[in-house]
Amino acid sequence: MTLYLASGSPRRAELLQQIAVPFTVLKAPDIDERPLHNEDPQSYVERMAKEKSRVGELRRQSEGLPDGAVLGADTAVVLGKEILGKPRDRDHALQMLRALSGNEHQVISALALTQGQACSLACSITLVRFRELNEHQLARYVATGEGDDKAGGYGIQGLGGALVAQLTGSYSGVVGLPLEQTVALLEQAGLDYWRID
């Protein structure tokens, strides 16, 4: 069975490659990613993952691609009850990183695997604590541009790893695709990993 990844994230593709899963990338779904009124962060992330998977399945059908399973994923950085999305600009990134400095936040990653009408869901919640960072350090990191397209304005797998003091949970979940939950969904669907030919 073919696995389709409904995501334009190179980091998610790299994580699937890391565990040797054969997959085909579908064009990233174009959906409204605004939270609903009073929607809690976990419900929001799960809804986004399901929507991306559903839209990916519709795209697979419309393009006449072979049957398979479509994996959608979403990740949010949450400080308190506030979802910190991708920064609007570098000033916004600096503002978010100031708020994260010295504090603990959650990174919630949800996965949805759609096969026809059926959809399986999994979620990972990781606690991340930033070091106490001064204005110069924050400004230097923002100037690298690494966090421009990332939730919370940072990427743990790159230069942003130096911002982190402690992590409890899934490192790969913070990157954007929690491998423990991914493997569980793949196994349920009868999809292979560790395909070393």
> What integer pLDDT is reported at residue 196 of this predicted model?
83
Question: What pTM does this model have?
Answer: 0.94
Q: Indicate whether 89 belongs to any domain.
A: yes
Structural domain including 129 reads 2-189
Among the listed residues 30, 74, 89, 197, the single catalytic one is 74
pLDDT tens track for 98-122? 999 999 999 999 999 999 999 999 9
Q: Indicate whether 178 belongs to any domain.
A: yes
DSSP code string of the chain: -EEEEE---HHHHHHHHHTT---EEEPPP----PPPTT--HHHHHHHHHHHHHHHHHHHHHHTTPPSEEEEEEEEEEEETTEEE-S-SSHHHHHHHHHHHTT-EEEEEEEEEEEETTEEEEEEEEEEEEE----HHHHHHHHHH-TTTTSGGG--TTTGGGGGEEEEES-HHHHHT--HHHHHHHHHHHT-------
Per the annotation, the verdict on 67 as an active-site residue is no
pLDDT tens track for 17-67? 999 999 999 988 889 999 999 999 999 999 999 999 999 999 999 999 999
Q: Indicate whether 116 belongs to any domain.
A: yes
Does the pLDDT at position 1 exceed 90? no
Q: Indicate whether 128 belongs to any domain.
A: yes
pLDDT-above-70 percentage for the chain? 100
What's the domain count of the chain? 1
> What integer pLDDT is reported at residue 74 of this predicted model?
96
Q: Indicate whether 196 belongs to any domain.
A: no
| CATH number of the domain residue 100 falls in | 3.90.950.10
